[in-house]
Structure 1
């Protein structure tokens, strides 16, 4: 498989309508609407004031993601408790607020219990409901959608007909075959077929504990084309939910058992979500299965229930257990023989096993000349046949999709170094082959 140059249509995503988001996650108008206990909201506001020193109501709105009306209620309550004081207003007339001595002491105590300082979390029940409503399986992928989403890749025709139904299934998918056949490369592009955006919570609340979910390195935020007043109670969706492209989380040999559980940082006193929670409503690819720090058998044992029941069970440092949706497309990719990884019972649970292999000559030729075009190299049919006969056939090397990119890349480096014309020759093929293959 190889990505070719694509037009702007490949980079376009179907955007979830703003009104749909507003119905899915309406902006809370009161403390009760947030679904979060007032004590947690007060603690969070005081911690923001502790970190910010002196803040206006508008600044608190931006830091907490709730309306100015709710912030005002919290400020009024904090004043009654003698935790917050008014300070001199800004030049444009905005009142500023700061902690009193007692509020400062209380905020430090709250920070010692939980270091979380971010947007107000959403309740677990709301997260579960919205996550399930945003499932990619609500809008099944069709052959046309798959062809459009992967139009920039060169793929055998029968492969699309195997992968498409697997993506619509609730079962995990195992992709296996020799190295270089494009398994990981295809998986990294499958989220293009999903196309739409989803709402990701900045954090979720389990009782009074907060787990941060939003990860800017994984969740690619979609910038809104319309301006919404943060103090407005009606317009736009709940700011605690961030509109993002469907996530694609890839993990390989670095995966260990701890990454599958809620992680607590004792230094910052914060909880971080496990990889499957961050990947919900998207794709989770476990690359190079069998080479992780956790064995394939341990991994499957951990995920038997999530894979079959679409729900996962997690726990906090206190020992409190809770349930989350396991609403993602789970892909495994390996170069190893699946029978050497796990027994038949586990393989049966995977549902879909898709084998990747070498290409036929027409597909290999197509990739070869597309790479030539991309790199600005000229190559005659005679040179391509020379490659096939004198090298692939002579040395019994299969037509693996990664070879054109790698071999032509070496040739381009040689041309640049030796100041040669951008033309593939027998000498360059021989040199690249000898460098690439051991």
Structure 2
């Protein structure tokens, strides 16, 4: 039975079906051989992510151009290929034009429809899905009723409230509620220019046990796509205007995708809105069209511009007053504005004793009531979700340092509170 990814991105069997020019594929072939010295057909198939039939055509063409020479076969009978002097010269010229060395890219025309079809909104989130994905978190139920519909919306989401109320913590777990996998292109081809998209720190590939031969033309999805969990890209104070555009490295002569392209078919969280290096007004001006029309416009060093899907869940999180960040017109464009605040006593208790279990600490109800009475009420401190983990973390450190019994006591709470709060 075919996997859905096999249907979505069928394995090409000819050069024409790859959507790439023969020249681009030949350049990539000779660059791989030039870098490695001598390669077998099977290794080249894996390095370029093309089928054996396409590779054989490229090898035959390169031989006619006198770029490739056969070398002695391996012990198991595999032919080995190396470059001739003419092939080495062409490889150097190819590297001078583009330093890209990786899998064969996906042409933009093939990327757009697959990216659209993989939209998380094609499979709307339900309350059951959200509860299952966030089952490890303690959250007010009314918050779930706001967050769930917001993720199904095509509009950006602003999450705001005091520090420590769990805004970032929740956002960092939301992709678990999506629960499915998507295909991420290793690289995109804009004409003969190649932009690398796949980022191993962001795109976590899903291991698939495949029993088919990699040289087989018919089985499996197009290997130029990497099957991954839906990405969650987080950025904050380090965000600059340059990170929103295609970047060209003059030294390596390679293009890198902007963060919103890497986050496509996933979630992009801009944490601490208002503290990034690009002004909030500049940021919103840059993303007016993408936020409203779900398409972005990017450019290459040559001056060529192209349209790309903006198919992601866009989240903004801030501790600041939203009205101080942007004017009312911009706030209106943020379809959902969800306020986070302190917890009620019951939810705070749940978090406190859950963290105790995680840290292997014992705590009585009497000691917990002491914390509420003497400090939260006595010092007029709200029940902020981050306090249990922070305070109990300090207590755990003290227990280990002083070789105490793993029991939360009033004196340990006194000490942790005095250390934690200024």
TM-score class normalised by the smaller sequence: over 0.9
Deviation beyond 6 Å, 4+ runs, structure 1: none
1:324-364 residue CA offsets vs partner (Å, 9 max, x unmatched) = 00000000000000001000000000110000000001110
> Which residue of the partner structure matches residue 288 of structure 1?
272
Distance 1:21 1:372 in 2: 43
* 1:190-205 alignment, distance < 5 Å: 190-205=174-189
2:3 match: secondary structure: helix
Note the C-alpha offset of 1:228.
Answer: 2.5
Provide the rounded CA distance (Å) in 2 between the counterparts of 1:343 and 1:145. 35
CA distance in 2, matches of 1:47, 1:411: 57
Query: TM-score, normalized by length of structure 1?
Result: 0.95
Equivalence for 2:32: 48
Q: Deviations over 1:342-395 (max 9, x none)?
A: 000000001100000000011101111111111111111111111111111111
Matched, 1:377 2:345: no
Partner of 1:92: 76
User: Which of 354, 359, 364 lines up with 2:343 in the alignment?
Assistant: 359
Query: SS of the counterpart of 2:323?
Result: helix
Q: 1:173 to 1:213 in 2, by over 3 A?
A: same
Could you tell me how far 1:90 is from its partner in structure 2?
A: 1.1
- The within-5 A match list for 1:266-305 is 266-305=250-289
| Structure 1 residues 152-175: Cα deviation after superposition (integer angstroms, max 9, x where no partner) | 100001000000000000000000
TM-score, L = length of structure 2: 0.99
Structure 1 residue 144: deviation in Å?
1.1
SS at the partner of 2:69?
A: strand
Q: Is residue 433 from structure 1 mapped to residue 417 from structure 2 by the alignment?
A: yes
| Paired position in structure 2 for 1:337 | 321
CA positional deviation for 1:18? 5.0
CA separation of 1:18/1:242 partners in 2, compared to 1, >3 Å: closer, same or farther?
farther
Equivalent position SS for 2:78: coil
Structure 2 residue 5 is matched with structure 1 residue 21: yes
- Which residue is equivalent to 2:307? 323
Shift of 1:91: 1.4
Unaligned segments of structure 1, at least 5 residues: 1-16
**Deviation at 1:407?**
0.5
Task: For 2:168 and 2:212, locate their aligned partners in 1 and report how far apart those are by CA, in whole Å.
Answer: 40
In structure 2, list runs of 5 or more residues that go unmatched. Answer: none
- Give CA deviations for 1:250-301 in whole Å, capped at 9, x if unaligned: 0110010010000111111100000000000000000000000001110000
Tell me which of 186, 196, 212 is aligned to 1:228: 212
- The structural deviation recorded for 1:414 is 1.1
Tell me if 1:77 matches 2:75: no
For residues 294 and 212 of structure 2, what CA distance do their matches in structure 1 show?
Answer: 36
Partner of residue 247, structure 2: 263
Match of 1:214 among 198, 216, 238: 198
Q: Over aligned residue pairs, what C-alpha RMSD do you find?
A: 0.8
Matched, 1:388 2:372: yes
1:18 and 1:237 in contact (8 A); partners too:
no
Question: Which whole-Å CA distance do the structure 2 matches of 1:343 and 1:205 have between them?
Answer: 39
Aligned to 2:159: 175
1:39-92 deviations in whole A, cap 9, x for unaligned?
000000010111011111111101100011111111111111111111111111
**Matches of 2:57 and 2:209 in 1, distance apart?**
31
1:239 corresponding residue in structure 2: 223
